[in-house]
Amino acid sequence: MEEKEHMEEKKHKRRVHYSGKYPKKFEEKYKERDPEKYADTIQHVIEKGSTPAGMHISIMVKEILDFLQIKPGQQGLDCTLGYGGHTREMLKQLDGKGCIYGLDVDPIESVKTIERLRNAGFGEDIFRFRRINFANIDQVAEESGPFDFVLADLGVSSMQIDDPERGFSYKIDGPLDLRLDPSHGQSAAERLRSISEGEFVGMMIENSDEPYAEEIARKVFSLMAKGDPMDTTTALCNAIKEALWKVPKEEKDMAIKKSCARVFQALRIDINSEFEVLYSFLEKLPDVLKPGGRAAILTFHSGEDRLVKRSFKDLAKEGIYSEISADVIRPSAEECRMNPRSKSTKMRWAIKA
Domain CATH code at residue 190: 1.10.150
pLDDT of residue 70: 98
Q: What is the DSSP letter of 99?
A: E
Any alpha helices (H) in the chain, and if so which ranges? 2-9, 39-47, 61-68, 85-94, 109-119, 137-144, 158-162, 188-194, 197-208, 213-225, 233-243, 249-271, 274-288, 302-317, 333-338
Nearest Cα neighbor of 240 from 224, 225, 255 is 255
> Is residue 296 one of the residues assigned to a domain?
yes
Cβ atoms of residues 342 and 60 within 8 Å: yes
> Is residue 256 one of the residues assigned to a domain?
yes
Domain CATH code at residue 116: 3.40.50.150
pLDDT of residue 13: 46
Task: Looking at the structure, tell me whether residues 151 and 289 fall in a common domain.
Answer: yes
Task: Looking at the structure, tell me whether residues 185 and 264 fall in a common domain.
Answer: yes
Last residue of a domain, one of 250, 271, 292: 271
- Partners of 206 in the β-ladder: none
pLDDT of residue 141: 97
Residue 262: domain span: 181-271
Nearest Cα neighbor of 158 from 294, 246, 56 is 56
Cβ atoms of residues 171 and 264 within 8 Å: no
Task: Looking at the structure, tell me whether residues 267 and 286 fall in a common domain.
Answer: no
> Is residue 171 one of the residues assigned to a domain?
no
Task: Looking at the structure, tell me whether residues 151 and 288 fall in a common domain.
Answer: yes
**Which string of DSSP letters, residue by residue, matches 283-311?**
HHHHHHEEEEEEEEEEE-SHHHHHHHHHH
Question: Residue-wise pLDDT tens for the chain (353 aa)?
Answer: 444 444 444 444 444 444 444 444 444 444 444 455 545 554 444 444 444 444 558 899 999 999 999 999 999 999 999 889 999 999 999 999 999 999 998 888 889 999 999 999 999 999 999 999 999 999 999 999 999 999 999 877 666 666 777 777 788 889 999 998 888 889 999 999 999 999 999 999 999 999 999 999 999 999 999 999 999 999 999 999 999 999 999 999 999 999 999 999 999 999 999 999 999 999 999 999 999 999 999 998 889 999 999 999 999 999 999 999 999 999 999 998 888 878 889 999 999 99
Task: Looking at the structure, tell me whether residues 262 and 337 fall in a common domain.
Answer: no
Task: Looking at the structure, tell me whether residues 96 and 229 fall in a common domain.
Answer: no
Task: Looking at the structure, tell me whether residues 65 and 151 fall in a common domain.
Answer: yes
pLDDT of residue 160: 66
> Is residue 249 one of the residues assigned to a domain?
yes
Last residue of a domain, one of 215, 249, 271: 271
> Is residue 94 one of the residues assigned to a domain?
yes
Cβ atoms of residues 260 and 296 within 8 Å: no
> Is residue 6 one of the residues assigned to a domain?
no
Cβ atoms of residues 313 and 324 within 8 Å: yes
Task: Looking at the structure, tell me whether residues 153 and 287 fall in a common domain.
Answer: yes
Task: Looking at the structure, tell me whether residues 224 and 197 fall in a common domain.
Answer: yes
Task: Looking at the structure, tell me whether residues 205 and 291 fall in a common domain.
Answer: no
> Is residue 137 one of the residues assigned to a domain?
yes
Cβ atoms of residues 145 and 289 within 8 Å: no
Count of domains forming the chain:
2
Last residue of a domain, one of 248, 271, 294: 271
Task: Looking at the structure, tell me whether residues 205 and 281 fall in a common domain.
Answer: no
- The 3-state DSSP class for residue 103 equals strand
